[in-house]
Structure 1
Amino acid sequence: MTKLYLLIVLLALAHVADAQGDTPISPQIPLMRQKFHEDIDKQQKEILKLDGKDDGQFTPAANNNELNMQATYAVINKTDALQNMIEQDSLLDGNNKIKYLRGLNDVLYGFLNDVRYKKIKPIAFTDVLSAYEDAMQLEREEKSIIPVVAANSLETGEILLRSYAFQQNAGMADAKELLILKDCQKNPSKILPILNNHPNSPYADSLIILASRRSQEELYNFAASTGKLGVRIQKSEDPLVKIIARMARIKTGRQYFPFLDDLYKGKRTFEEIDAVMNDSVKYYKLLVQTEIAYADRLIKRDTPLVMNTLTARLQQKARDVFINEINGLHELPDAVRFKKIEVLTPEELYYLAVLGEEEIYTSSYTHGVYPFIFKKMRVPRGDSLLLSVRFDHFKKWIKMAANYNTLDHFLKTMEKENAEMLMKAFVKGLDRTNSLEDAVDVANSYASITDKNIQNLILDQIQYNLAESKRIKNVRGERVYSILNTLFLSMDSVNHIDVSTTLGIPPVYFMPNSLLRDTAGRIIVQQFFYGDKDGQTVFNAFVRGFSNGNWKITSTNQWVAVSSVKGVPVTIYANKPLDEEKGLDAEAQAALSKFLDEKDLHPSVVIHRGHSYYLNSTIAQLAPSAKIILLGSCGGYQSLSRVLGICPYAQIISSKQTGSGLINAPMITALMETARQGKDLNWPGLWGNLSKMFANNEMFADYVPPYKNLGAVFIMAYTKMEEND
């Protein structure tokens, strides 16, 4: 075999000069056809360069000499042979010789362009050239080239159909339709957009049915359109397509869509949905029933249609109908505030929590949804609750319970054995998801668990999963579980684990003063205030707190600047809490951010002062330069992942439950004074002093220092590992 490969290479190299046009065109070739031969030689030369080397060889296959030899032979020898065959064929007249030479040039040129635009792989050249030979033979016999198009790839077929040689072929129209089918088969997620450009394709009906099994949302959108494809969908006799088409014709069709699977399977009728359509509470209840039924089917490996759409609609209704109302009544007595949710079952309340995580206020969860669940249960057991919802979103439930300090209570509502099984399931399969969300939830939850037995159970399971990942060489699993193992072990001081050194991330237990300074040696702080009554009170207290000999205050119409007059130059820029109803506080924040940007002042410390419902606004304006972030609002702990998405190595202070101005103000003063004095922020030491200061304030226990923000540290460590790789 080695001798054969060597012979192929020698033969190819012997013809390189000819392919590159170094040998004059034979004078026997009429002048009118010489130009076509020259064009073909030019394309050969360009194809040989596609591998990035002008060495007369074509090497499209990495580390595969055999394929590279074959490719080089095809570009040079086989192409030359095809040229000569066309030119010397006595059965072809002059016009047909031009036709096939021009067609060959078109194929070479088409291949060259498609490679450059990454539409076809370079290694496909041999197939493309062979397909041209086969199609040319059929064309000469006045037969359809359909068999060749059918036998080859979509990309090869497209190149053939652009060739001049086959423009009058009897099978051209059918071949184009076949390419549409091939395109849909290769790109099933794009079937409907492809058909939208070819609505009269003979394959359209069967492809519409195929799309209905894959992309119900998209089919609904096209069915609702007035274009030709929409009309074709409306005419389909397929049962699923007919149901989707019927919805698309109804003004309120989206309201039916979450129930598509039940409608298709005959488990529910349009009339049953109509009966609750105009009652938001009944409609929500029906969504919950369907969600639980679908979750039960998922356990049995039966995936319902549009389940994600159902969950999204359920989340929307939970937010719009219930959460927004109980959040908005946060200043009223609980009896008034939570009247709206009294009609809900424990399962329906459960979904308010797990699907309302982003919006629900801390007090809405701790004073309303969570205790109401157990008040509503005849036998208040956590395992019974999870069984009743078929463990749907149970990891999110556990994470929220941990973050709001209700996990210990929740686990104690069930037998110890069941609690242990639940926590094992909580940490299982963290590497199998497309995101790090579950792993971050586990990291955050661990720090909130006070039961030593549960902690040990989780740690043992983490170490077991780590060993399994190593055994089967699961890189992602090993990475996830090794980080969690390091973090959890570091929580116990007897293990003497330095997290930052072990995981190769910036300091976690302290923040060097030098890292907070900019190139001019300044520490810039940005503080966000909001213009409600509480915001104005807190702002005034902030200004009074810094009215001493160590600081000077300057004021503009929209913000104040509090600057140190001794020690390290520290400046706290804080927008004024102007009238929120007129949006003046937002204007002040925007003006301050613009000023900082124009003056090249980059905050290394950012402080959020305001209720939790203002936190999204602060995060949207968060400076990527921030290295310390204080989330002084209720439940700021829930937003760690979003903050780290902007500032991946920031150290974050946050509260799991109620943020308090009585805690925030002294904490900020302690941070600023430490920075002004040029001292590093030693978090364990600083937190120890603050713990003594707030010994009589039980809310301080809900504040989490940077070195205990395990979810934040996990994201830092994982990001660092990926950077290193």
Structure 2
Amino acid sequence: MKRTTPIVLASGLLLLLGADALAQQKGKTNIAAPAPWQIDTLIHPIPTNRAMFTDKVLQQVKKADLRDGESDHKIELEDATVSGMLSQALLVKAPRIMIHIENMDIPHQTKIQYHKALANMLRRLNARSSGPDDATYIKRSVDNFEELMLAREQNRLADYVKANDNIYTLDNSELLDDHPELKSLVFASVGKAKPEMMIRRLPDFAKESYADPVIAAAAQVMPGTILTYASSTSVLSAAVRRNQDPFVKVIVAIADKAKNPQKVLPFVAQIYAGKTTIAEIDGIANDPKAYFQALVNLRMQGQSVADKAIDEEINFRGLQFVRVVNELHDSPAPVRFKSLMDFNAEDLYFMMIGSQDEIYTSSFTWMFDRMMEKMKPVSGDAFLAKVQKSHFRTFLRMAAGYNKLSPFLASMEENAKNELMKEFVANLEQGPMDDLEDAVDVADAFGSINDPKLIAFLKEEIRTNYEKKANEKGVIVYALLYTIFNSAENAEQLNAKVSDLLPPITYVPYASLKDEQGDIVQQVFFYGDKDGMGAYKGYLNLFRSAKWKIEQNQYWAAITSTGANPIKIFVNVPLPEEAEENDVFAQTKLQQYLDDNGIHPSIVIHRGHSYYLPTTLEHLQSSVKIVILGSCGGYHNLSKVLNSSPDAHIISSKQVGAYAVNVPIISALNDVLVAGKDVNWISMWQNLSKYFAGRGAGINDLFSDYVPPNKNLGAIFIKAYRKQAMLMGKQD
């Protein structure tokens, strides 16, 4: 359907109504004449000496119109709300701003300045994707542009900037080039509020004086980035080294004096406070056990500065110990866990949290039992207090997932247990709107809790927190959690309750998996370690029948169904990791082929260890509707999947994926697709459960760690939250 107010893009002119119509409107009695920036039609034709600048604006509008592949004055995407927001902001409001600029009684050069800034803004916005978060950002950026421009012309710019010192004003700060003091104010203010984001933009303004407060603020939360800049030879190094902030100076000293700067960095606050020295930390940096324990002790002191750097280092170092245990999974326990015997309960706690995306079930359960033994006679609540309750929601979620929550809670008095679980679901409204890690931990944990009394207690606490209505984030979080908690055991009921926000969660329509050519396209990622090479051969063997045709080259295999329902599967060859042309090279070659031929997968399958997962996630597209990851243990992986593929149904495992489980799941999915049927997760999982029940206790236990999309409460929560926040206009 055409828009009611068509835009004419021709010869650089955008003329909706002529000056005669405006004159008639002014001639009416008792009607105040609108201001020039309230008139959505050109009062005068655009002069030739400005047409080249308005043409650039219109070129960007036309580019925006092509977001859905068609130039038809509307943006039509699967999400109607996103379509409406993008169409209004980019195809309606942006061209109107151009008209308003032309209509205002301002100098020729000022109009050119505004047109150039408008075109630059649209160019930036066109580089963004079309997800819900991006749509909200685009709408607010366009609104901010006109408000900022009018504030300039109405001599109220300072007041507007002080009231709107946010990311949108910063991104439109080209309009503040003539007001350096206000531009500095915005950069400094946003730098303090969002230092992680601003420090990544430092190359754009490193030489400016307002870079100094941004660097100082970022040093408190991203000292690693400041260290990297200080160690470089670019203009970024000069910007950091000229900074007079004492904390920044300590980071520069670490860059210049430490033998192991990256290992010394987590102790920057201790060095700054004079509690230790660079040389002392260098002295333990090469002893893995001593260094890890020093990090844990540092974290237990409740250090507030550089927490993120400390956590990252603890997670990385702890993961190395867990990987050794994982690799020895076929060895007797005394051999397998020998390297962990001398660690205390606190060390084991941080190891388990840090390895949440890779730890095996058997590794976690042994480490948990050892932790419980080592922490005696201390109760669970006292133990959590000792570790500063660091990521305690993640720990409780993992314990629930591995059926260890009950023994942990049993170590406490009843009152302490209730207080802990109250805290577990409390204060989820805190933090920015897009900070959902704690809420997702709660949602995921609930899906693994079997104690009816505890379930009832948590439901009541969620209801109580909702009724407090602390803020808009809390309203959304607790309303969704309450809905999910009260329908978690009935997938159809949950499906009905979130149907206003999400596509079906219990099934994926067959038609939605087809591309424009009517094909269902899968992309499968393999990696070049020993396990990956063996799994690749086994995977191809699944398709050596009359139902399929396999074609191979040196980089990938293309598998095509031969029946009535066309399915195309593209699989990269897992080339040896050490080779110059390795698995990533093969994946890149395959991706280039798919891109060049306009092939967009609707199904992505990750076949590899968790540490390869980030590479697979880089290839996800908005067209993907089903993602099989094997391992996807936490919020960050779920969030990354849904950032790229907002409607994806995610099959994940609480541990590293198992070949003996992956193959039957993939085969079951392909059988449904070959038959041309909708992918119904409930019936598929019922059939798989029967199959694995007859395969022995070991394999059945592995299968029980896999979570179907309709029970992936964390993913369902993230999708519903983002949609609800966008509808309320609250998600940036």
**TM value normalised by structure 1:** 0.66
What SS does structure 1 have at the residue aligned with 2:604?
A: strand
- Return the offset for 1:608: 2.4
Partner of 1:150: none
Distance 1:695 1:237, change over 3 A: closer
Partner of 1:250: 257
Distance 1:318 1:111, change over 3 A: farther
Q: Residue 719 in 1 paired to residue 722 in 2? A: yes
Alignment coverage as a number of residue pairs: 576
TM-score by length of structure 2 reads: 0.65
CA distance in 2, matches of 1:598, 1:647: 20
For residue 508 of structure 2, the aligned residue among 508, 511, 517 is: 511
SS of corresponding position for 1:601: coil
Q: 1:348 is aligned with what amino acid?
A: D
What stretches of structure 2 of length at least 5 have no aligned partner?
1-31, 34-97, 118-144, 158-173, 193-197, 695-699
Residue 343 of structure 1 and its aligned partner are, at CA, apart by 2.7
Distance (Å, rounded) in 1 between the aligned partners of 2:216 and 2:601: 56
1:709 Cα deviation from its structure 2 partner? 0.7
Alignment pair present for 1:562 and 2:569: no
Q: Matches of 1:347 and 1:479 in 2, distance apart?
A: 35
Are the counterparts in 2 of residues 500 and 507 from structure 1 also a CA contact under 8 Å?
Answer: no
Residue matched to 1:649: 647
Q: What does residue 455 of structure 2 align with?
A: 455
* Whole-Å separation in 1 of the counterparts to 2:239 and 2:492: 68
2:705: which partner in 1?
702
Contact 1:611 1:634 in 2 (8 A): no
Candidates 258, 264, 267, aligned match of 1:259 = 267
| 1:118-129 alignment, distance < 5 Å | 123=151
Give the direction of change, closer, same or farther, for the CA distance of 1:410–1:122 in structure 2 (3 Å limit): same
Alignment partner, residue 5 of structure 2: none
CA shift for structure 1 position 650: 1.0
In 1, the alpha carbon distance for the partners of 2:223 and 2:542 equals 59
* Residues 646, 245 of structure 1: alpha-carbon distance in 2 compared, 3 angstrom cutoff: closer
Question: 2:478 maps to what in 1?
Answer: 481
Residues 437 and 635, structure 2, Cα contact 8 Å, conserved in 1: no
Q: Given residue 390 of structure 1, which amino acid in structure 2 is its aligned partner?
A: Q
Residue type at the aligned position of 1:719: R
Q: Per the alignment, in what secondary structure is the counterpart of residue 654 of structure 1? A: strand
Single out whichever of 373-382 and 326-335 deviates more from structure 2: 326-335
What is the CA–CA distance in structure 2 between the aligned matches of 1:341 and 1:412, rounded to whole Å? 25
Distance in 2, matches of 1:194 and 1:577, equals 39
Q: Which aligned pairs between 1:572-721 and structure 2 lie closer than 5 A?
A: 572-582=569-579, 584-632=582-630, 639-657=637-655, 659-696=657-694, 697-721=700-724
Corresponding residue number in structure 2 for 1:387: 385
Is 2:509–2:679's contact at 8 Å kept on the other side of the alignment?
yes
Distance 2:183 2:517 in 1: 63
**1:535-576: CA deviation from partner (whole Å, max 9, x where unpaired):** 444444434443444334444444444333333222333334
Residues 229-272 of structure 1, C-alpha deviations (whole Å, 9 max, x = no match):
99999999998788667546523466554334444445445675
5 Å-filtered alignment, 1:321-470, equals 322-327=321-326, 329=328, 332-358=331-357, 360-363=358-361, 365-366=363-364, 369-379=367-377, 381-434=379-432, 435-469=435-469
Contact 2:521–2:568, Cα closer than 8 Å, also in 1: yes
In the TM superposition, residue 329 of structure 1 has moved relative to its aligned partner by 5.0
Change (3 A) 1:390 1:547: same
Q: Which residue of 2 aligns with 1:42?
A: none
Q: Which amino acid aligns with 1:353?
A: M
Aligned residue type for 2:727? N
Match of 2:19 in 1: none
Q: Please state how far the C-alpha of 1:710 moved relative to its aligned partner.
A: 0.9
Q: Which residue of 1 aligns with 2:163?
A: none
Contact residue 633 and residue 659 of structure 1 kept, 8 A = yes
Q: Structure 1 counterpart of 2:647, which letter?
A: Y
AA paired with 1:372?
A: R
Q: Following the alignment from structure 2 to structure 1, what is the Cα–Cα distance between the partners of residues 245 and 692?
A: 68
Which deviates further from its counterpart, 415-424 or 648-657?
A: 415-424
Deviation, 1:180, is 12
The answer to whether residue 286 in structure 2 is matched with residue 287 in structure 1 is: no
What amino acid does structure 2 have at the position aligned with 1:550? K
Q: What code does the residue aligned with 1:258 have?
A: P
**2:175, 2:522 → 1: CA distance?**
61
Moved more, 516-525 or 115-124: 115-124
The aligned counterpart of 2:91 is none
Alignment match, 1:550: 547
- Taking a change above 3 Å as real, the CA distance of residues 466 and 602 of structure 1, as seen in their structure-2 partners, is same
Give deviations 1:315-339, integer Å, cap 9, x for gaps.
34334x5345445555655444433
Separation in 2, partners of 1:531, 1:193: 36
Contact 1:503 1:717 in 2 (8 A): no
Distance 1:236 1:520 in 2: 57
Q: Which amino acid aligns with 2:514?
A: R
Aligned partners of 1:209 and 1:633: how far apart in 2?
38
Classify 1:306/1:491 alpha carbon distance in 2 versus 1 (closer, same or farther; 3 Å). closer
Q: Following TM superposition, by how much is the alpha carbon of 1:708 offset from its aligned partner in structure 2, in angstroms? A: 0.3
- Shift of the 207–673 alpha-carbon distance from structure 1 to 2, 3 Å rule, reads closer
Aligned equivalents of 1:477 and 1:488: distance in 2?
A: 16
After TM superposition, give the deviation of residue 347 of structure 1 in Å: 0.9
Q: Distance in 1 between matches of 2:258 and 2:182?
A: 37
Cα gap change, 1:486 to 1:224, in 2 (>3 Å): closer
Give, in angstroms, the shift of residue 509 of structure 1. Answer: 0.8
Contact 1:500–1:508 (CA<8 Å) still a contact in 2? no
Shift of 1:615: 3.0
Contact 1:517 1:523 in 2 (8 A): yes
Aligned-residue Cα RMSD (Å) equals 4.9
1:344, 1:195 → 2: CA distance? Answer: 47
* Residues in 2 aligned to 1:635 and 1:227: alpha-carbon distance in whole angstroms: 38
Query: Measured at CA, do residues 313 and 110 of structure 1 come closer, stay the same or move farther in structure 2, by a change above 3 Å?
Result: farther
**How far off is 1:194 after superposition?**
13
Equivalent in the alignment of 1:318: 318
- What's the CA shift for 1:396? 1.9
* Separation in 1, partners of 2:239, 2:681: 66
Shift of 1:348: 1.7
**Contact 1:110–1:159 (8 Å) recurs in 2:** no
Question: How far apart in 1 are the matches of 2:403 and 2:378?
Answer: 18
| Within-5 A mapping of 1:12-411 | 52=101, 54=103, 123=151, 247=254, 249-252=256-259, 255-268=263-276, 273=281, 276-294=284-302, 304-319=304-319, 322-327=321-326, 329=328, 332-358=331-357, 360-363=358-361, 365-366=363-364, 369-379=367-377, 381-411=379-409
Please say if residues 634 and 659 of structure 1, whose CA atoms lie closer than 8 Å, have aligned partners that are also in contact.
no
1:676, CA displacement in angstroms? Answer: 1.5
